[in-house]
Structure 1
Amino acid sequence: MYNNSFFKKILLVTSVVFLFSCDKDYNEIGGDLIGENNFDLKKETYDVLAYNQKTGPIQSNDLAINPLGIYNNPNFGETTANFGTQLTLSETMTTIGTRPHIESVVLTIPYYFDASKTVKKTDGSNVYVLDSIYGPDKAEMKLSVYESGYYMRDADPIGGFVQPQRYFTNQNAEFDNIKKPNRLNDDTNLAQNDKFFFDPSEHVVTTTDSITKAVTTTRTPPGMQLNLNKGFFKTKIIDAVASGKLATNDVFKEYFRGLYFKMEKSGSSAGNLAMLNFKDGKITIKYNEDLSTTTSGVTTVTRVKKTIVLNMTGNSVSLLDTDFTGSGLAYNALPNTGNTTEGDEKLYLKGGEGSVAVLSLFNAPGELDAIRKSGWLINDASLVFHIDAAAMANSFVPQRIYLYDFNNNRPIADYYLESENNTNPKKSKLIFGGNLNTDAVTKKGTTYKIRITNQIRNLVKHADSTNVKLGLVVTEDINIDAYHRVRTPNAFITGAPKASVMNPLGTILHGGNSTVPNDKRLKLEIYYTKPN
């Protein structure tokens, strides 16, 4: 019986392999296979028309991660990233005990760190290296956290509250002008306000048991920890329980309109910028109150410890102000829409309120029809983008770029062929590509490669397929394929990928213009086999 089962399995596997190998038209080939020119592969290259398109102010609410800080990009100007967020109650409240007294109010937001570089020392402490930080290490800035005066609606009243309300990158002045005047992070420790910096140190709390005298040490990874004004929260939260302001989250969000984080320069420091997951942030209010219990007619009053947690899981918005007077002059002088006829020499990809590159394939008359009539079996098609090394010499280079259907603001066919890697998004959809390639010696970024094999196959096989324009952007997370609307849609652009709004960086690539040196020029590369 075992042998019979074994041979059945062998027969099944052999059949699957045979059938798969017969389907030449959908055979994906890797770089090594192409390099060895197996199966008599041939290569053809085609010119690509590519030009710049600025987005202008763009929707920036409800992002997975948000920038906070100040970053002076050598090519795109100095951006100050502020932030506004609603607060939500982890538990609603309608009653509170007598004689409540606040012990502490602490705002916490975790930082990203590179776990592979964490060093555990013999005394039990840990040394961390922060990730997603741009600019000088430990650069001081002025951080102010205010009670927001801006009511962030969840739904848009235009259209009958059916669609979510949009908020945009250029609304910082609106939040700043109506913030409440008193800064909440007013601790005497200036590292929490006027000389704030993104500290990589772990947080250590030591407690001693009042009876056993046992000492307990708790260590947590680095993150923002700010002591907020206890008097404000006594009035705003504790004293408001009896009035029903904490009875539901809808009432609470109208009553306490959230927080506004404002960043400013501190002295001569250039500042820096961090990517933060504000959704994991919270405010923890620890307080004491009297608890009365009655047993056999005897009432006992006990002092008990209580906690109220305010989460940052409500609506939120990245608020970006960019000063172009210094390093951003050249970029700011670019037209909103580049040369749509001949293409641009340089392609400026910028995240946030940024810039998209628009690509048009098969522009020569009869070019696509000739391929359709040739009967080619397309094995691989890709676009290779060369970084302008001179322009980007002193800049942080984005780790990934993303290509999409620009006409319809959606992914192309090749994007859907791979499953997502949610545990490590940086390793997701590697065949589709877009990851930064670096020089083995200099360790500098050189190129990005994106495969569009199935996009081209569909165009060639189906005469009624639309040769759509393609959009190219920097991306913070390849798994996010949603799109955000520009504030002022026009004939040239209506939206851009949400993940590009999340990314604070930019890069400059060589375009497909005929003036670009041939070895750096953007081209479409197609590897194919001809039928016998």
Structure 2
Amino acid sequence: MYNISFFKKILVLSSIILLYSCDKDYNSIGGDLIGDNHFDLSTYTSNVLAYNQKIGPIQSDNLAINPLGIYKNPNFGETTANFNTQLTLASVISTTTVSTRPFVTSVVLTIPYYYNASKTVTNTDGSHVYTLDSIYGADKAPMKLSIHESGYYMRDTDPTGGFQLAQKYYTNQNTDFENAKVSSRLNDAADLAQNDSFFFDPAEHVVKTTDSITKVETVTRTPPGMQLNLNKGYFKTKIIDGAIAGKLASNDVFKEYFRGLYFKMEKSGSSEGNLAMLNFKAGKITINYNEDLSTTATGGAVTVTRVKKSIVLNMTGNSVSLLNNSFGASGIAYNALPNTGNTTAGDGKLYLKGGEGSLAIIDLFDKKDLKGYDVNGKLTGPNGVSDELDDLRYPADGKKWLVNEANLVFHIDASTMANNYEPRRIYLYDFTNHRPVVDYYNDASTSVDAKKSKTVFDGNINTDATSKRGLTYKIRITNQIRNLIKNVDSTNVKLGLVVTEDISTVASYKVRTPNAFITQAPKASVMNPLGTILFGNNIPFGDPNYDKRLKLEIFYTKPN
């Protein structure tokens, strides 16, 4: 009898907890719906205000991925992407480590390229055919590449901030680094593919070695990457002799002595060139040299004791992406845009461009504020809150909405973007506070590639099944809208929209010349060289694209 009573109590208690949990979580049901079939949910469409905002020169130091090359965008003009990086010693070298009789055999700079592993073909002889990824422009387009020793010292800290702040470097500082270079071109090999006619080569690198005793040949194959022979005499003097002089005894001393490399891209002949995204941090310079440790003469014969050595310089110091933009015929419309768009009525088209580019600012809900409500839901005067949002918070029938899903759907101006490379993803964030929106934080979806996580929050391009061209981007802001409606003290912040190279990178970088509208922008946008054109809200009725105007869609239910 006691056990039966006990289990009855447990059953009742469990039921109460279950009912409470269901009630508590009811607002979240359907919040992560993936499809567009919303069954019997009611739909509410709200107009939004969206306008363009140019970013201008922006902080671009120490990015995880950097562009290098020349890219002519059909809608945004031409960008030339140069690069500067410090070098660091893989291991410090004392003055006694290097003898006074070294002979440099080779100096090789290597930087890996990104390639699409799913498209790699393995031939019967063991060789591979690779397809490069993250490269934009004509295939194998030649360019003039010049690599110089940099004379610009990249400080770690900003002395104007009392050395408490990291030193910032910006996209428009190319002239500073160009004027500070201290060497002639270091990649001066006779092979023009390493300088005057350089191109991003998808071929694998093959090295054959033969054992001196067994005569067995070994073939080593590595994926494609930049592999350049640098001037041996220059590095003999600068690095080997520098080591003897004690300049390689610590990285601090070395970075002051050898201030890094400056990569400069120029057009080659009539070629428009192309642009690749590179992980320079994975790059290095390998200086191979022989040392004659001793020379012994015996009976007229000379015996030399020789050893092979190497010094590795990594590209892991401070770096900066340097961008030169020219607009010409292909960028006339973009260049003619005002720095800040129509903040009153919104813009008909939204121009998102990475690098030293532009973003869109979005205001949710109508801005009319003629009335308000007190804590009891009774009408008062203007309260600084959109009347539309007030009405959603205090519906006339008294039945609070249960928001199941809320989306912003951005339609791509497909005809204008027809000949463009399209960004694979866009990113929506809290523009007012320079941080992600709550839906970003609440999305725990993951991917093997961190850049492809947050699939519920979305922002990935949706393409036509046949043409593979972009149609829309959709971003879910369900929790953002829930909070605004449910919590009267929630602030309806401005939202920012940018192209992104990496959805997992949410930090912001400083605009070099801030103004009343913009002071910073997402770092991942600086990393992306592409742009897209989306339809905004200001499209007049009767226009063929009227139905593609930007709107907020809310799917909801009401309690009976």
TM-score, structure 1 as length reference = 0.93
The question of whether the paired residues in 2 share the 8 Å contact of 1:439 and 1:446 is answered with yes
d(CA) in 2 for partners of 1:68 and 1:475? 17
- The Cα offsets for residues 414-444 of structure 1, whole Å up to 9 and x where unpaired, read as 0111237473134310000000000112211
Q: Residue 486 in 1 paired to residue 496 in 2?
A: no
Given candidates 341, 346, 349, the residue that maps to 1:343 is 346
Secondary structure of 1:344 counterpart? coil
Q: Is the Cα–Cα contact under 8 Å of residues 31 and 403 in structure 2 kept in the other structure?
A: no
Shift of 1:326: 2.2
- Retained in 1: the 8 A contact 2:69–2:81? yes
Displacement of 1:16: 9.8
Which residue matches 1:524?
552
Asked if 2 retains the 8 angstrom alpha-carbon contact of 1:105 and 1:227, the reply is yes
Give the direction of change, closer, same or farther, for the CA distance of 1:19–1:198 in structure 2 (3 Å limit).
Answer: farther
After TM superposition, the structure 1 = structure 2 runs for residues 217-256 of structure 1, keeping only pairs within 5 Å, are 217-256=219-258
* Aligned mates of 1:179, 1:432 — CA distance in 2: 45
Instruction: State how 1:314-393 maps to structure 2 within 5 Å.
Output: 314-365=317-368, 366-374=387-395, 375-393=400-418
Q: Which residue of 1 aligns with 2:380?
A: none
For residue 371 of structure 1, give the secondary structure of its aligned residue in structure 2.
helix
d(CA) in 1 for partners of 2:34, 2:274: 41
CA contact (8 A) 1:34 1:41 kept: no
- The equivalent residue for 2:374 is none
Alignment of 1:37-436 (within 5 A): 37=39, 40-94=40-94, 95=96, 96-291=98-293, 302-365=305-368, 366-374=387-395, 375-419=400-444, 421=446, 423-436=448-461
In 2, distance between residues paired with 1:446 and 1:527? 22
Gap change, CA 1:436 and 1:232, over 3 Å in 2: same
Alignment deviations for residues 325-369 of structure 1 (CA, whole Å, 9 cap, x no partner) = 221111111100000000000000000000010000112431001
Query: Cα deviation per residue 1:440-466 (whole Å; 9 max; x = unaligned)?
Result: 122110000000011111111111111
**Distance in 2 separating the partners of 1:33 and 1:220:** 42
Change (3 A) 1:330 1:201: same
Determine the C-alpha separation between the residues in 1 that align with 2:90 and 2:121. Answer: 34
Partners of 1:422 and 1:91 lie apart in 2 by: 36
- Measure the CA separation in 1 of the matches of 2:394 and 2:428: 27
Q: Do the aligned partners of 2:172 and 2:324 also contact (CA within 8 Å) in 1? A: yes
Relative to structure 1, is the Cα distance of residues 127 and 110 closer, same or farther in structure 2, using a 3 angstrom cutoff? Answer: same
What are the superposed Cα offsets for residues 66-92 of structure 1, whole Å, 9 maximum, x if unpaired?
Answer: 000000000000100000000000101
2:474 to 438, 443, 449: 449
- Contact kept in structure 2, 1:422 and 1:479, CA below 8 Å: no
**Could you tell me which amino acid in structure 2 is paired with residue 54 of structure 1?**
K
Q: Is the 8 A contact 2:101 2:293 kept in 1?
A: no
Q: How many residues align?
A: 514
Q: Is the 8 A contact 1:481 1:499 kept in 2?
A: yes
Q: Is the 8 A contact 1:59 1:485 kept in 2?
A: yes
- The Cα offsets for residues 313-334 of structure 1, whole Å up to 9 and x where unpaired, read as 1110110001112211111111
Q: Partner of 1:328: helix, strand, or coil?
A: helix
- Give, in angstroms, the shift of residue 103 of structure 1: 0.9
Tell me, in whole angstroms, the C-alpha distance in 2 between the residues paired with 1:353 and 1:489.
Answer: 13
Q: Provide, for residues 473-518 of structure 1, a one-character-per-residue CA deviation record: whole Å limited to 9, x for no partner.
A: 0000000011100001111000000000000000000001142633
After superposition, the C-alpha distances for 1:133-183 in whole angstroms (9 at most, x for unaligned) are 100000000000000111111111111111111000001111111212410
Contact 1:350 1:506 in 2 (8 A): yes
**Aligned-pair distance for 1:32?**
6.4
Q: Would you say the 8 A contact 2:484–2:491 is kept in 1?
A: yes
Structure 1 residues 239 and 528: alpha-carbon distance in aligned structure 2, compared to 1, 3 A threshold: same
Conserved in 1, the CA contact under 8 Å of 2:425 and 2:500? yes
Structure 2's unaligned 5+ residue stretches are 1-10, 296-302, 369-386
Matching of residues 10-29 of structure 1 within 5 Å: 21-22=22-23, 23-29=25-31
CA distance in 2, matches of 1:84, 1:348: 29
Q: Are the aligned partners of 1:436 and 1:448 in contact in 2 as well (CA < 8 Å)?
A: yes
CA deviations 1:97-132 (Å, max 9, x no partner) are: 231111110000000000000000000000000000
Contact 1:199 1:223 in 2 (8 A): yes
CA distance in 2, matches of 1:50, 1:197: 40
- 8 Å contact kept, 1:342–1:513: yes
Distance in 2 (alpha carbons) for counterparts of 1:287 and 1:242: 14
Aligned-pair CA distance for 1:33: 6.5
Paired with 1:509 and 1:21, the residues of 2 have a C-alpha distance of: 40
The sequence identity of aligned pairs, in percent, is: 70
- The code of the aligned residue for 2:270 comes to S
- The alpha carbon displacement at 1:209 in A equals 1.0
Checking the alignment, whether the CA contact within 8 Å between 2:147 and 2:261 is kept in structure 1 is yes
Q: Identify if the C-alpha distance between structure 1 residues 36 and 43 changes in structure 2 by more than 3 Å, giving closer, same or farther.
A: closer
3-state SS, counterpart of residue 467 of structure 2 = coil
* Distance apart, 1:199 and its partner CA: 0.3
| 8 Å Cα contact 2:33-2:405 kept in structure 1 | no
Sort the Cα spacing of 1:41 and 1:421 in 2 relative to 1 into closer, same or farther, 3 A. Answer: closer
Match of 2:378 in 1: none
TM-score with structure 2 setting the length? 0.89
Matched position secondary structure for 1:237: helix
Q: Please tell me whether the aligned partners of residues 452 and 503 of structure 2 are also in contact (alpha carbons under 8 angstroms).
A: no
**1:279 and 1:310 mapped to 2: Cα distance?**
11
Tell which deviates more after alignment, 341-350 or 22-31.
22-31
Structure 1 residues 92-101 or 132-141, which shifts more?
Answer: 92-101
- Structure number with larger C-alpha Rg: 2
Structure 2 match to 1:7: none
Q: For residues 447 and 238 of structure 1, what CA distance do their matches in structure 2 show?
A: 56
* Partner AA of 1:45 in structure 2: T
Q: Partners in 2 of 1:244 and 1:33 — Cα distance?
A: 65
How big is each residue's C-alpha offset from its partner over 1:196-244, in whole Å with a ceiling of 9 and x where there is no partner?
0000000000001111111110000000000000000000000011222
Q: Residue type matched to 2:191 in 1?
A: N
Structure 2 CA distance for aligned equivalents of residues 178 and 74 of structure 1 = 33
2:46 aligned counterpart, secondary structure: strand
